[in-house]
Amino acid sequence: MLATGELAYRAERLEALYACCELCPRKCRIDRRSDLGACRTPAVPVVASWGPHMGEEPPLSGSRGSGTIFLANCNLTCAYCQNADVSQSPGAWAGDATTAMDVARIMLELQACGCHNVNWVSPTHQVPALVRALTLAAGDGLVLPVVYNSNGYDAPEALRLLDGVIDIYMPDLKYAAARTGSALSGVPDYPAAARAAIAEMFRQVGAAWEIAPDGTLRRGLLVRQLVLPDELSGTSESLLWLAEELSPDIAVSLMCQYRPHHRATQLAGYPGLRRTVSRDEWKAALSALARSNRSRHTLVQQYRG
Ligand code: SF4
């Protein structure tokens, strides 16, 4: 795609979306070059931090780390966000805009560090700038797989422009009920939007995994399912949807690491968010996984209470 000019063309098409932003299902339709939408992010890359990360799933972290680039701000406002200092504090990053060349240099440094991939964390609202940076980095020798690590609230129209650009999709599938997405993450249509986005990701890379000789993932889809207390995540329903509408062979990362971060303890009407997932809730999630999923790549966190 670099040699044919297709990668630069995709960057141009994505950058054009900044003029009337519909990069995510919020569809703010503002000009990001002069105005700020719900994600409070301008049309230049704003990177919060970056570096090799051993805390991702083993097929991504491998032995030398996943090359994470944490993008500042977010298009969701999750009450329990565990990265609120990065995602929910737009004022903190207002002056930290960087250039595409800066981000390209970061990608190349992550490759020089030996990272197995370049992992864009929360890329949805900044993806045009990231693809522009990728064209520069690829021109300077970047060959690592690119991971699109999102909250799942992505616009299929923008994702279609990433076909062939992204090697590994790792979206969340946060909720199965729209009212929960509205109360906990501030958007009215999370399940429908995330399902449409994941369907597009699946169309691009399928359920099969391509694995490198060192055992790390080179190409594929891994859907993250964070189990929430009181079944707020709708895990059973989401896993059933994934199996019936897309494929039971899609790899899932089932996670029990929920902790009451950010505003979780102050949210009226959701007392379950003040605690961790109970052993019984975790067992129910495991049963749902066994019923609906048969991928040999599916990953399950160890329950620690
Ligand atoms: S990416 Fe930001 S400005 Fe664009 S539609 Fe989403 S929230 Fe609005």
Structural domains for the chain: 6-300 (3.20.20.70)
CA of 78 to the centre of ligand 1 (A): 15
Identify the residue whose C-alpha is closest to ligand 1 atom 1.
125
Strand partners, 211: 217
Q: pLDDT tens-digit profile of 266-302?
A: 999 999 999 999 999 999 999 999 999 999 999 999 9
For residues 132 and 107, the answer to whether their CB atoms sit within 8 Å is: no
- pLDDT confidence bin for 89, thresholds 50/70/90: confident
**Ligand 1 pocket test, candidate residues 14, 23, 34, 71, most atoms within 8 A of CB:** 23
In whole angstroms, give the CA distance from residue 15 to residue 51.
26
Nearest to 80 by CA among 175, 155, 146, 8: 175
Query: What number of CA atoms fall less than 13 Å from residue 208's CA on the CB side?
Result: 1
Token pair 């060959």: residue: 143
How high is the pLDDT of residue 210?
Answer: 98
Which H or E run contains 6? helix 6-16
What's the whole-number mean pLDDT along residues 4-23? 98
From residue 270, how far is each of 132, 176, 228, 235, 280 by CA, in Å? 41, 16, 11, 17, 19
Q: pLDDT-based confidence at 74, cuts 50/70/90?
A: very high
Ligand 1 pocket test: pick from 34, 39, 41, 126 the residue with the most ligand atoms within 8 Å of its Cβ: 39
Element (DSSP H or E) covering residue 147: strand 146-149
Which protein residue has the closest C-alpha to ligand 1 atom 6? Answer: 24
Using the mean position of ligand 1's atoms as its centre, give its distance from the Cα of residue 258 in Å: 26
Res 154 pLDDT > 70: yes
The predicted-structure confidence for 100-129, as pLDDT tens digits, reads as follows 999 999 999 999 999 999 999 999 999 999
Distance 30 CA to ligand 1 centre (A): 8
Task: Calculate helix-pair angle for 127-139, 100-112, nearest 10 degrees.
Answer: 60
97 pLDDT above the threshold of 70: no
| Per-residue model confidence (pLDDT) at position 295 | 98
> Measured from the CA of 41, which atom of ligand 1 is nearest?
2
What is the Å distance from ligand 1's center to 37 Cα?
Answer: 5
Computed from CA positions of residues 49, 55, 60, 66, in that sequence, does the dihedral angle turn out positive or negative? Answer: positive
Give the ligand 1 atom nearest the CA of 125: 1
Ligand 1, pocket residues at CB < 6 Å: 21-24, 26-28, 32, 37-39, 75, 125
